[in-house]
């Protein structure tokens, strides 16, 4: 009888341990799983009506932010490319704090190509993801020196060959420095505003950068793309903020289906 009780107690103990392990595993998964993004706002309007609304939005943005420009400090294409790579998952303000000293030490691609990984990591640590960024910056500089004679490429195909450069970064360099409107810079602000303004036709949510860019390119004139990106970013920082948008002060409210929804 004593053996049976001991065996039963041991079985219950094992069962309890397994249950606790499953609960713990579920809690860990719950913490690791990001919250799903809200689906893109789709309005009951024709493409023509959406385009007319986009035209009014563009006009209102031009009036509100006539001097909108890239917030990253730079004096040439090389500095803009470096700063844009550093800005991934980091604020422009933080990047601007470290780039003066960085550009003093590495004034061009040739100098950066010879940087030591560990030293560069220390210099850019505050921007986050510093190991990957340091690796990409050195790889980018080496590729620019080896393939493009030390000059930052002025076309999309060549830029996309460089380590650390995806379409958003390439659009920023091409539009801001070379004045080539190849596409729009879609960052977190542009995605959020495009979603709230109901300008997305094919994008799944505010993080679907490729489709967001395509949707916006169909609505706005080519010559406005680069300026529009910077204007939306500025508007997202100053007015249409992530948590508490100031809809009562927003010049786009008349054409924004989300206006007042955050009160």
Q: Enumerate the active-site residues.
A: 168, 187
> Residue 42 and residue 196: Cα distance in Å, rounded?
10
With residues binned 3-state (H G I as helix, E B as strand, rest as coil), the percentages for the chain, rounded to 5, are 65, 0, 35
In Å, how far are 215, 229, 251 from 246, measured between CA atoms? 25, 20, 10
CB-CB contact of 132 with 138 (8 Å): no
In Å, how far are 42, 61, 115, 203 from 45, measured between CA atoms? 9, 22, 54, 16
The tokens for 216 are 């916006």
CB-CB contact of 255 with 60 (8 Å): yes
> Residue 257 and residue 34: Cα distance in Å, rounded?
27
Chain centroid to CA 169: 9
CB-CB contact of 151 with 169 (8 Å): no
Angle (CA) 138-185-196 rounded to 5° is 140
Find the Cα–Cα–Cα–Cα dihedral 21, 27, 28, 33, rounded to 10°.
140
> Residue 67 and residue 180: Cα distance in Å, rounded?
18
Nearest C-alpha neighbor of 124 from the set 77, 71, 164, 182: 164
CB-CB contact of 197 with 60 (8 Å): no
């Amino acid at each position: 009888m004593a053996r049976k009780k001991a065996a039963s107690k041991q079985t219950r103990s094992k069962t309890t341990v397994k249950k606790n392990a499953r609960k713990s595993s579920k809690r860990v998964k719950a913490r690791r799983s990001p919250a799903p993004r809200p689906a893109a706002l789709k309005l009951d309007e024709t493409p023509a009506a959406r385009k007319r609304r986009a035209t009014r939005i563009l006009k209102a943005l031009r009036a509100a932010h006539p001097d909108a420009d890239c917030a990253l400090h730079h004096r040439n294409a090389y500095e803009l490319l470096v700063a844009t790579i550093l800005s991934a998952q980091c604020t422009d303000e933080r990047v601007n704090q470290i780039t003066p000293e960085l550009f003093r030490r590495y004034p061009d691609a040739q100098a950066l190509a010879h940087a030591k990984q560990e030293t560069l990591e220390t210099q850019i640590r505050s921007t986050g993801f510093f190991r990957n960024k340091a690796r990409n910056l050195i790889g980018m500089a080496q590729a620019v020196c080896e393939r493009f004679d030390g000059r930052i490429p002025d076309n999309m195909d060549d830029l996309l060959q460089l380590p650390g450069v995806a379409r958003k970064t390439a659009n920023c360099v091409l539009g801001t420095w070379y004045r080539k409107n190849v596409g729009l810079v879609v960052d977190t602000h542009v995605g959020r505003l495009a979603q709230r303004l109901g300008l997305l036709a094919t994008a799944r949510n505010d993080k679907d950068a490729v489709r967001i860019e395509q949707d916006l390119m169909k609505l706005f004139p080519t010559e406005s793309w680069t300026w529009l990106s910077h204007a939306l970013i500025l508007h997202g920082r100053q007015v249409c903020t992530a948590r508490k948008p100031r809809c009562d002060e927003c010049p786009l409210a008349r054409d924004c289906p989300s206006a007042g929804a955050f009160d």
